[in-house]
Each structure stands twice: as C-alpha cells, then as structure tokens.
Amino acid sequence: MTSQHSHSKTNNPSTPLNVLIFEYVTGGGFSADDVPESLASEGRMMVKALLSNFATLQNIDVCVINQNDSLTLHENFRKQIQKVDAVWVIAPEFDHILETFCSYVEKAKKKLLTSPSHAVAIVANKFDTFKQLEAAQIPTVPTKLFNESHDYDETCEWIIKPIDGAGAENTFLMTSPENWKALPPLDKQFIIQPHIDGDKLSLSCIFEHGDAVLLCVNLQVFDIQNRCFYLKTIQVNEREDKNGNYQKIATQVAKAFPDLWGYVGIDLIQTTQACLVLEINPRLTTSFVQIESKLGINVAKMVMSLCYDSSLF
C-alpha cells in the first residue's frame, strides 16, 4: 500500500503553511472526569515542546485543536482539518485511536506529519509487531497470545499486557502462584511474555522509507507497585551509541516496517547478552519533550523537511 508520504517533496508555497496539532488527551479525548492526570500532564508537555519546535520555523502558522462543545471530538477534528495543510496527530494506539485519527487526515487528503494509518495498525498490535520483528530476524521478546485457560509455568516470571496497550497501562508482573490467583478478569485480548531483567531503553528516531536517523538513546526507569509497572522517569540521551549498535537496530526496524514515517520511538530491553526490541511507537513519545533542550535538535523541522523543501523554513 502506498501512502501520501511516498509523494515527492512539495516546493515552497507562496503563502504560509497551516499546521494543526492534535493531542488526543488534552484535545478532549476523555471526559473531564476521566482524564488520568499523568496522561494529561504528558499531553500538555508534548504540545508545549512541539509548539516550541515550530516557533523557530518560518512560513508556518500553527494552531492547536480547540474543543467544541456542540460537536463530538471526531466531528470537530474532521471539521478543523479542512482548514489546514498538514496535521500532526498525537494519540494513544489502544482501541484504534491513533489509527482512526490518522485515517481522517488521509481521507481529507491533507499532509499527515506522522506514520500512515495502515503502518500504525501493525505496530499498535504487539503480537503483529512481534511476528514482523521475528520474520525480519530482529532480536525481540518471545510473545504469545494470552490464554486464560492455559496452564502457565508459575515458577517462571511472566509479563501480561494488553495487545494494544500504551505505556505500562494494565501491565502485570507475575512472579508467584499468588499473583496468578489475584489476576483480575481481562476484558480484552492480552499477550504474555517472559519477564526479562535488563535496562529498559528507548530510541528516539526519524524514519523515512526504510531509513532511520537515531536522535538519542534514553533510559526508562519503572516502579513496580502491586505487580503493575509505572514509568517513574525517563533520562533522555542517557547512553551514547559508541559502537553504532543502537543505530543498527533503528535501521533494522525501519527496513522491517518501511511505511513507518517521521518520529518513531523504539522500546528495548538490554541484557548482558542481547538487546531486544520490545515495542514500536509510531508517534511522539515522552522522550521527545526534552530533545530540543538537551540536544538542540528540532524534530518538527526534521519532519517538515521530509515532505517540504527545507529552504522554506
């Protein structure tokens, strides 16, 4: 399947480009009572950082989607994208949310500044991601669909997580028979993986047609409370890529998922023996927030230069 991203670069337009930023959580994706504060805070930080990136660029008018109480979120989004040239979507992958809003942009024939919807659909599904990584012979964590009636070896440590979860939401660490007895009823499809001890890293990258530029390697620090994982902090640019191994992984992933485009995050587990790809995030990640301040890299400029003549900015 070809995407709008396969088009050649657009020459300098005579008028400024209009870019719409849509962040799902702060844009009205949850009712006011249901917004998890951690997600809302993260959403605000990502919008602020992206606006800071765009503020240094010329010939671009940027707006952030406004809520409209007389329209549903989906109706409001489809209405507002009609008025702009390009749209940057920031949304969680679960329940097809990111995929759906990307598809609205594609159907409106506007420039999508993130991965196309069909590429999002693959990596949003952790089991499909595992199968594609395995087929490409990229080291990854063994993954199976979770079957509640299956008799798992309770002497081993396991991770159970939603097949389309975002972050560490509803991720359970199973280390004892007691954990298995206390596992709550699961209302959707989950996957199961062996729990592998190691450094939890993430790669911040820019992808284009099977090529990857590695921006930085970040360390993720998790807390475990009541057998659930919580992201405590991210140390951006914490690790140097001295021997090029992280760039090699980014390139392998880009070639295995050639339709991923723009900013992409890759979650890894690094042990003394191996570096395993765990997940792929086809959107801005929390690490993005510090990239401009810590590295002086303008991600928005890099992404805009993939689809427009860079001399414009």
d(CA 69, CA 240): 47
159-173 pLDDT, tens digit each: 999 999 776 678 889
Q: Are residues 15 and 113 in the same domain?
A: yes
- For residue 24, CA distances in Å to 90, 192, 279 come to 6, 28, 21
Q: Is residue 228 part of a domain?
A: yes
pLDDT confidence band for 224 (50 / 70 / 90)? confident
Counting every residue written for the chain, the total comes to: 313
| CATH number of the domain within which 62 lies | 3.40.50.11770
Query: In angstroms, rounded to a whole number, what is the distance separating the alpha carbons of residues 51 and 22?
Result: 11
Any idea what DSSP says for residue 140? B
Task: Give the domain extent around 148.
Answer: 144-194
Rounded to 10 degrees, what is the CA torsion of 50, 52, 58, 60? 40
**Three-state secondary structure along 202-234?**
EEEEEEECCEEEEEEEEEEEEEEECCEEEEEEE
> Does residue 144 contact residue 191 with C-beta atoms inside 8 Å?
yes
Six token digits for residue 260: 């991923």
Burial class (CB in 10 A: 0-12, 13-18, 19+), 79: exposed
Residue 277, in any domain of the structure = yes
* Number of independent structural domains in the chain: 3
Is the predicted pLDDT of residue 81 greater than 50, yes or no?
Answer: yes
CATH number at residue 225: 3.30.470.20
Q: With pLDDT > 90 as the criterion, what percentage of the chain qualifies?
A: 73
Give yes or no: residues 70 and 148 share one domain: no
Q: pTM for the whole thing?
A: 0.93
Whether 130 and 227 share a structural domain? yes
Do both 131 and 215 map to the same domain?
A: yes
> Is 272 found in the same domain as 219?
yes
> Does residue 174 belong to any structural domain of this protein?
yes
